Amino acid sequence: MSLFDRFRKSLTKTRENVLGQFDRLFGNYDVINEDFLEELEEILILSDVGFETTEEVMAKLKESINLNRIDKPEYVRPLLEHILITLIDTPQEEHFDPDNPPKVILIIGVNGAGKTTSIGKLAHLLKQNGKKVILAAGDTFRAAAIEQLQVWADRAGVDIIKQEAGSDPASVIYDGIQAARARKADVLICDSAGRLHNKKNLMEELGKIVRIIKREYDEADIRTLLVLDSTTGQNAVNQAVLFKEYADMDGLILTKLDGSSKGGFVFNIKKELDIPVLFITLGEKLEDIAPFDGESFVRGIFEK
């Protein structure tokens, strides 16, 4: 199955929700007028595109309509597609290249977002690209987190570095770095605690982990990726904003995209945070991960 087909399959709920509303809108109007534009704006907002992002999209759309002297609603759809693609697509250099990955990937995110499964799938993807991968079980506080990561390490066929539950996460990451060096690993993927009950403690913990990595593995290219649950819509945006307060993020992994009916939040995240979406995960299989492609995402929503 091609990447585009994988996107289309994953976006069924979003497409049915958003495209159904667009079809109704375009079917109700013969000409473009203020009522048509107001309803279009409302659809975008209700699809979790966000108020400010919607305002930007609508301003560009109206400018394009006037510039091209368009008066029929059916010609608005391709214009809107183009604007959304431009909004969400990132320059090629921002994309994560599985053939030339960073040496260390720190994974952050709240419990339940799909952090552990994303690590397993990412490890599998990198291994399929010929990379030697080691996992570091840095989430030492959540019950069964280490055991769950061990299961995914076994499934992906990669090594895992771990300690007892309750251990110092930074100590686990330290051991992971030593193992990555000794075993000549290409990539070290580090898990981290996923609780937000105390921002100060979590910030200090993440800061300590990053300092350990930079001190002990100073030659490594380090990336921090935030995992977000797509089914939470606008709440995912709020989580991303919260994490950005105390963690430098290089990219996002969107999980459970196949269960979301409001995929518009992806545009809102790009607008508010200017952080690229790097991967989407689509299910429970090891292979259910794909590099994010903004154009395919938009076309997967709009095209039947």
pLDDT of residue 204: 79
3-class DSSP state for residue 291?
strand
45 CB burial (10 A radius; 0-12, 13-18, 19+) = middle
Signed CA dihedral, 217, 162, 281, 230: sign only = negative
d(CA 215, CA 16): 49
Q: Could you tell me if 41 and 5 are in contact, meaning their C-beta atoms sit under 8 angstroms apart?
A: no
pLDDT of residue 170: 92
pLDDT of residue 289: 87
d(CA 169, CA 126): 24
CB atoms within 10 A of CB 166: 7
- The list of the chain residues with pLDDT below 50 reads 3, 92, 197
119's CB contacts (< 8 A; 6+ apart) are 107, 135, 149, 152, 189, 191
Q: What is the DSSP letter of 74?
A: G
d(CA 159, CA 161): 7
pLDDT tens for 141-169 read 887 999 999 999 999 999 999 999 989 99
pLDDT tens for 34-76 read 999 999 999 888 888 888 889 999 999 999 999 999 989 989 9
Q: Could you tell me if 99 and 129 are in contact, meaning their C-beta atoms sit under 8 angstroms apart?
A: yes
Cα angle 11, 14, 16 (rounded to 5 degrees) comes to 100
Sheet containing 104-108: give its strands across: 159-161, 133-136, 187-190, 104-108, 222-229, 251-255, 277-281, 289-291
pLDDT of residue 262: 65
